[in-house]
Amino acid sequence: MTEVQKGKVLAVNISKDKGTKKTNVQSCPLLKDFGLKGDAHGGPWHRQVSLLANESIEKMRKKGLNVGYGDFAENITTEGVDLVHLPIGTEIRIGNSIILQVTQIGKECHERCAIYYQAGDCVMPKEGIFAEVISEGEVKVGDEIII
């Protein structure tokens, strides 16, 4: 039995196009078998929702980059949870009703996206995680995350 991790949602980010920075919309419906309503990455596949820890963004800031929530195209920016070390299949509870299941840790970037060129580097391939929506609900800034 692993210890319970608790964190919180710092930003809820969506974009109309793939490969671009996302904008913090504060709250958004998270739809089963889709992801965030209105987000370019939503759909019936294994990478419905992307999560990135603020701790990873802070690493990039320490390298001198002026980056913030959504700049790495993550849907949900978190704090206090060690995302990158969660095993595939881990359930992430957000707020009262949302359950996500981890499907992928990191990703392979075949080409340098706009984020790489704007930020000079990207933590998403190494430290971002992806999940499917098991149970839907409204996700909002400040929601508690329980692993």
pLDDT, one tens digit for every residue, the chain (147 residues): 457 899 999 999 999 998 788 999 999 999 999 999 999 999 999 999 999 999 999 988 888 888 899 988 899 999 999 999 999 999 999 999 999 999 999 876 656 666 666 666 667 768 899 999 999 999 999 999 999
What is the model's pLDDT at position 85?
A: 93
Q: In the structure encoding, which two tokens stand for residue 117, read together?
A: 């060129």
Q: Would you state the pLDDT for residue 2?
A: 55
Query: How is domain 6-146 classified at the architecture level of CATH?
Result: Beta Barrel (2.40)
Q: Which residues contact 147 (CB under 8 A, 6 or more apart)?
A: 2, 4, 5, 6, 7, 81, 86, 90, 91, 92, 93
